[in-house]
Structure 1
């Protein structure tokens, strides 16, 4: 790594469990055993939760110096479906907690490594594992060449229409599965979330169910975790800082709603233990229900390895990165600081969101899904970086893919070794687990 792009990394690989422990220092301690148990399920689950470990591994490798806005955690389950503001179903990257400027290869290597681990979780042969990862990287290279040849405005708005996304998949397995997923996605909205998460209290008012540790109502939380404030004051102060950075039209829209309850909800794998509140809003009409999700925004795991400017507010970093990389973003996307000074960002909790369950697709389906993810990642990088320079660097996608495959296989092996180390850490008592 050249000196103007980041700090030189030591040759010796850091202890992966120590990296996880450092990351968890400011997280909610009663949720960490759950995080560890989810990561312990298999190597792919460990890989999902260990972006901080892979960032350290990637930083020790040479790279092109071609900078883009990275997703920062581009494993295959961080791609999926969501609704656009115009209520069209889109496929794109859908997680940006680690977004940060950096060399384009880092996202691509994490995506390729996730394809290898997903293929192994399906019991695919080494040849099939390699084919899946190569096709993913090849799709990225070919798409980047196409974007490099386009005008800026045509490239910026390029998308795969949903019908084509489904119908043009050669794999009958993936085609059938995507049809089911996209049909189900459009039922994932705030009303469905309320039915799933809420119940009436003694007065008939809807409240979030208190289901610790997965859902913890703020009125049941010790005030020591709320800076000594009652939950109403905590929520109102937080909400006002969120509103302050929203556009006037969104402030007007939100003024029609009243926040009636809030809770902390466990989400994902890598995010477990961060402050992730959910907020219930009611409007005047019985159907006017809105569930927003806040997510704690820490420094990106890439920040210490790339010396490039980002916003000081970590929620703002996430929001700006998401808006740059996605073709269309959630209208409720925003950031705020809670009364304890912690940075968070906000999005709709259910917004037609859906992702692919790797266990429901076969080898051909995984290959074609990788192609779709490769195209999508290339489009995000083309929007944020020098698409022509990246395309020229790749040159021959097939040859480039073979080089990335070697790195992806090495990263997958490290994830399996680290997973085994986690299991030993749990067995010895060093690492807590449920």
Structure 2
């Protein structure tokens, strides 16, 4: 984290918030509160020192706050875990998606607050920008509220085959990215929420995303949206049958030479000169570092700190360093501002790594993005297939879902936080949904369905699954027409629920509901 970040509001945080802060920020708080022996403390000792030793002193389980009593932040994580386990056992339970009226509005409010409690407690400016973004667009609201969506699915489809799901499937989470050999490939490009779960969870999330995007971005009615969803699900089933028969998924990449016309065109549009890309978007006038603008805040004084972290990342992830980044020399570091939807407000850094020419024409940009617990954690049916860590889980998913994907994908710890690492490439690109014709919407949905099938099929090639996943999924899906219709019906109902939730959110947002978090008073 940047040491110059405004500390206003940190006094409203709880233990979880303190544990998210860097040691430098903890030391600053300790200095303000005159904590003795602070300079010799590690992070955990600083956290403990900033919490009261005696809850009777009026500061129970939180950071001291003048003239008030701080309470622990509210969390329903364990309650939903128990709900998911009960439903997975076949018990008849009441799901939050059955809530109506003001009860549902309160559920939306609590879930959004809980999902963003650290960012809200820190009065993070990007958190406020995220809420404004969610307010302005239904599709953005859907993208930015994964936890809300999956709490409505707690324990669902426990009898279905487990795969390594992407977690957050929607039309804009497929795109062009660098391969291991630094050539553009197409596929799933966001693994932040990846988790071992029933395969239907990805299909239901993706289908709902297509309904919402088709309506808001494509201006399609319900019938056309249903047709697009059918193309998505049928593309998935058709591709899965191919993998079940041929078994070639562990060697498949979608490149420009074998891509469908729509994707080949996207890859072609993404091609650009690295030198031009760097100069146009990132470099200062001397081509020695990042320029300061509304998207990039240089923190050059932290270069040595990130140099050490990058070397540690290479060692811990056994990265085969390519000739295009000799020595992995960090020239500069910046904070990337305003990027993403779900992750907006979480720390994200760009590292400028020197290329062979050392003149700014062939430098490489490596991204460090803070990883969080998946929105699916504690909500999926209990499974023997689990992963520890946050960035490690994301790195595992990328390694499973993509054949010879980005060689710089991995995980590293910095400031006591878990960071996902990847390359930013000139040809990292996604489809512009607003440019799709009516026919292309269905074509693109089918392509995404096939890409998702490939990701799932890799769960038993590179993932933890110990059984042949393709025939299991096809057997569980049963008759195609019935399975497709079930997903279409789910997506239509879920999209209607998202629309109502969005209205609840917008009402609460205008009334200032997301400036504070829920606290436990008893």
The bucket for the TM-score relative to the shorter chain is 0.7 to 0.9
Post-superposition offset of 1:255: 4.8
Q: Which residue of 1 aligns with 2:140?
A: 45
Q: Which residue of 1 aligns with 2:3?
A: none
Task: Answer whether contact 2:88 2:158 (CA < 8 A) is retained.
Answer: no
Task: Answer whether contact 2:134 2:144 (CA < 8 A) is retained.
Answer: yes
Measured at CA, do residues 331 and 145 of structure 1 come closer, stay the same or move farther in structure 2, by a change above 3 Å?
same
Measured at CA, do residues 115 and 88 of structure 1 come closer, stay the same or move farther in structure 2, by a change above 3 Å?
same
In structure 1, runs of 5+ residues without a counterpart are: 168-174, 220-229
Single out whichever of 418-427 and 56-65 deviates more from structure 2: 56-65
Task: Answer whether contact 1:190 1:291 (CA < 8 A) is retained.
Answer: no
Q: Secondary structure at the match of 1:101?
A: strand
TM-score for both structures, normalised by structure 2: 0.72
Single out whichever of 402-411 and 420-429 deviates more from structure 2: 420-429
Q: Which residue of 1 aligns with 2:115?
A: 23
Task: Answer whether contact 1:24 1:273 (CA < 8 A) is retained.
Answer: no
Q: Which residue of 1 aligns with 2:231?
A: 135
Q: Which residue of 1 aligns with 2:478?
A: 395
1:341 to 416, 434, 441: 416
Task: Answer whether contact 1:310 1:317 (CA < 8 A) is retained.
Answer: no
Q: Secondary structure at the match of 1:59?
A: coil
Q: Secondary structure at the match of 1:292?
A: strand
1:231 to 288, 295, 302: 302
Over the aligned positions, Cα root-mean-square deviation in angstroms equals: 2.6
Q: Which residue of 1 aligns with 2:242?
A: 146
Q: Secondary structure at the match of 1:69?
A: strand
Q: Which residue of 2 aligns with 1:226?
A: none
Q: Which structure has the larger Rg?
A: 2
Deviations 1:259-307, CA, capped at 9 Å, x for gaps: 1211111321111011111111223513330111111111111111234
Q: Which residue of 2 aligns with 1:300?
A: 374
1:272 to 344, 362, 370: 344
Q: Which residue of 2 aligns with 1:247?
A: 318
Question: Residues of 2 paired with 1:343 and 1:6: CA distance?
Answer: 33
Measured at CA, do residues 35 and 69 of structure 1 come closer, stay the same or move farther in structure 2, by a change above 3 Å?
same
Question: Residues of 1 paired with 2:375 and 2:198: CA distance?
Answer: 14
Post-superposition offset of 1:368: 0.7
Task: Answer whether contact 2:160 2:200 (CA < 8 A) is retained.
Answer: no
Q: Secondary structure at the match of 1:92?
A: strand
Measured at CA, do residues 165 and 64 of structure 1 come closer, stay the same or move farther in structure 2, by a change above 3 Å?
farther
Question: Residues of 2 paired with 1:191 and 1:242: CA distance?
Answer: 28
Q: Following superposition of structure 1 onto structure 2, how do residues 18-167 of structure 1 map, counting pairs within 5 Å?
A: 18-27=110-119, 29-59=124-154, 61-121=156-216, 122-151=218-247, 154-160=248-254, 162-167=256-261
Q: Which residue of 1 aligns with 2:289?
A: 207
1:291 to 352, 365, 372: 365
Post-superposition offset of 1:413: 1.1
Post-superposition offset of 1:195: 3.0
Single out whichever of 83-92 and 389-398 deviates more from structure 2: 83-92
Single out whichever of 53-62 and 263-272 deviates more from structure 2: 53-62
Question: Residues of 2 paired with 1:312 and 1:190: CA distance?
Answer: 39
Q: Which residue of 2 aligns with 1:411?
A: 494
Measured at CA, do residues 205 and 12 of structure 1 come closer, stay the same or move farther in structure 2, by a change above 3 Å?
closer
Question: Residues of 2 paired with 1:361 and 1:318: CA distance?
Answer: 30
Deviations 1:315-336, CA, capped at 9 Å, x for gaps: 1110111110112310111210
Task: Answer whether contact 1:137 1:397 (CA < 8 A) is retained.
Answer: no
Post-superposition offset of 1:76: 1.2
In structure 2, runs of 5+ residues without a counterpart are: 1-83, 98-103, 461-468, 516-522
Question: Residues of 2 paired with 1:32 and 1:97: CA distance?
Answer: 18
Q: Which residue of 1 aligns with 2:31?
A: none
Structure with larger RCO (C-alpha < 8 A, sep 6+): 1
Question: Residues of 2 paired with 1:233 and 1:162: CA distance?
Answer: 39
TM-score for both structures, normalised by structure 1: 0.86
Q: Secondary structure at the match of 1:407?
A: helix
Question: Residues of 2 paired with 1:6 and 1:318: CA distance?
Answer: 28
Question: Residues of 1 paired with 2:161 and 2:408: CA distance?
Answer: 32
Q: Following superposition of structure 1 onto structure 2, how do residues 181-196 of structure 1 map, counting pairs within 5 Å?
A: 181-187=266-272, 189=274, 192-196=277-281
Question: Residues of 2 paired with 1:235 and 1:392: CA distance?
Answer: 49
Post-superposition offset of 1:205: 5.6
